[in-house]
Amino acid sequence: MVPGAVLQGRGVSPGRVAARAVSLAPALPEPDAETVVPPEGREAEVSTIEWAAVAVADQLRSRAERARGEARAILDASRLLASDPELVAEATALVRAQGRTAARAVWETSAAHEAALTALGGRMAERAADIRDVRDRMIAEILRVDMPGVPERDEPFVLVATDLAPADTAALEGGSCVALVTADGGPTSHTAIIARALGLPAVVGVAGATGIPEGAMVLVDGDHGSIHVDPDEAEIAEARAAAVVVTFDGRGRLADGTRVPLLANVGGASDAGSAAAAHAEGVGLFRTEFCFLDRTEAPSIEEQVEAYRGVLRAFPGRKVVVRTLDAGSDKPLPFANDDDEDNPALGVRGLRLSRRRPALLDDQLRALARAADAESADVEVMAPMVATVDEAADFAARCRAAGLDRAGIMIETPAAALLAAELFEVVDFVSLGTNDLAQYTLAADRLSSALADLNDPWQPAVLRLIGTVGAAGRAAGKPVGICGEAAGDPALAPVLVGLGATSLSMTPRALGRVAAALDVVGPDECRRAAEGASRAATAAEARQAAALVLGGGGAG
């Protein structure tokens, strides 16, 4: 690879850093398929598989206990895979019936499970990395060899891999890794989720990533999805300056003092604690599905109350916006979703689950009301995946019947954006999910690296829809929050405010930089930047139009 080469992928966690490239250790070789275990030795091989599954589950449980928030939930999911009785039963059946070695049986069984997930495509295909991780861990235990994984380094490094297993990604916390680059993966893969939680810049779906030479200096731009190999010294210095964490004083505002509350996106009590420590002014998105993951049946109302109180407790007297269960698509739950949807992203997900399981939503609302009564946070509840006024009105009525006074909706579909004025007649607030809004507006699967240029919040079509919602919010005198990835982009934040956003919610690590970007611009500049960007014909022209108003430093 020539010095100065620029590789393009999908930026899934923002930030710019420069450091030496270090490759993930290669996977274990495929076990021999020719060896046949004699009948008298097969039960010993079966015992080895069972023992390895227990050992790996224990390892992952230990890692999960040390992890926090979403990383912990994902590691728990891997732990359950390792102890999956179906996987173990199928592997032991291969040993008993065909004389496969323990290692080979685990390999073949995992391959079948991986192929099934890959065939489903989209978000489910990304879970194949989880299967491979558990497979390699079990085989390493069986063969009593070291497990390949994240190398240890004293100096900062960029980890380069084909893909990363969730256990590896979660293990990066507190280490010397400063960014991630993978050839595979998408924005909702576990690598992406944990990278965002840890605040590591990450670019996935990078063609040619594995050709980056070991030890080469690379500049990772998680905002724009680019990898610069052997950049010049000026670029390196700029990236290192940008990597400095900017602290947040807990008060988002424009240059004239106009308040723009800066909130945090969280998945559980641990995330909420980290957000409070980062001085977030509240929670703009509490993703409650992390309380439901890896269960064969819905948690009881009592279990839910305790989980919700853990988040509310971190923000006494401050706003916490709770999103009701957003299962489906990339987060299917066995007690809520069907397995046979042809296109789950357009199927029964989010609020649409209440068509099939109305009690699931009503129980969650009752639990949230009880949690709100027990804590002092100002609780607001919103529904995901709303497309009609009827859906919004029904959800608001259910909230109030449960004892929840503030009911809102996520605007993620073009239909909801176009109906914003009518929606404001039946709900108290809205929050824009820019990730899904871009996906549905551009008809481009947000997991596809090949379509990364379409899934861009700077696309004028997306900006115009946001502006439509903002105008409706101003006319109704009601709040318009933004909680998608776009809210954490310092270059885009003033534009979003100019389009009508009254609050922005993001990963806690982004709070300081977004606050700094807003602190130097006034309302008029925000409006002019928004108008210029919205009138543009392309995403690139939208960035340029905003930069002309706001100055080049923030729009890069």
Which residues are known catalytic residues? Answer: 190, 483
Residues 6-17: b if buried by 16+ CB within 10 A, e if exposed? ebbbbbbbbbbb
d(CA 498, CA 504): 12
What is d(CA 15, CA 505) in angstroms, rounded to the nearest whole number?
17
Q: For residue 547, which phi and psi values (nearest 5 degrees)?
A: -65, -35
Contact (CB, 8 A) for 392 and 427: yes
Which residues are bridge partners to 20 per DSSP?
157, 217
CA 510-182-13 angle, to 5 degrees, is 10
The Cα–Cα gap between 407 and 480 comes to 13
Distance (Å, whole) CA 521 – CA 490: 12
Cβ 455 vs Cβ 444: under 8 Å: yes
Nearest to 164 by CA among 115, 200, 126, 199: 126
Number of neighbours of residue 309 by Cβ within 10 angstroms: 18
Pairing state between β 177-182 and 6-8? unpaired
Distance of alpha carbon 160 from alpha carbon 525, whole angstroms: 40
Torsion sign, CA atoms 230, 234, 236, 239: negative
Q: What is the DSSP letter of 163?
A: -
- Give the H/E segment covering residue 285: strand 283-287
CA distance 325 to 210: 37
- Angle, alpha carbons 224-249-529 (nearest 5°): 45
Provide the β-strand partners of residue 204. 10
**H or E segment to which residue 54 belongs:** helix 42-66
| Contact partners, residue 124, CB within 8 Å, separation at least 6 | 117, 330, 332, 344
Sheet holding 6-8, edge to edge: 6-8, 226-229, 217-221, 16-23, 157-161, 177-182, 202-204, 10-13
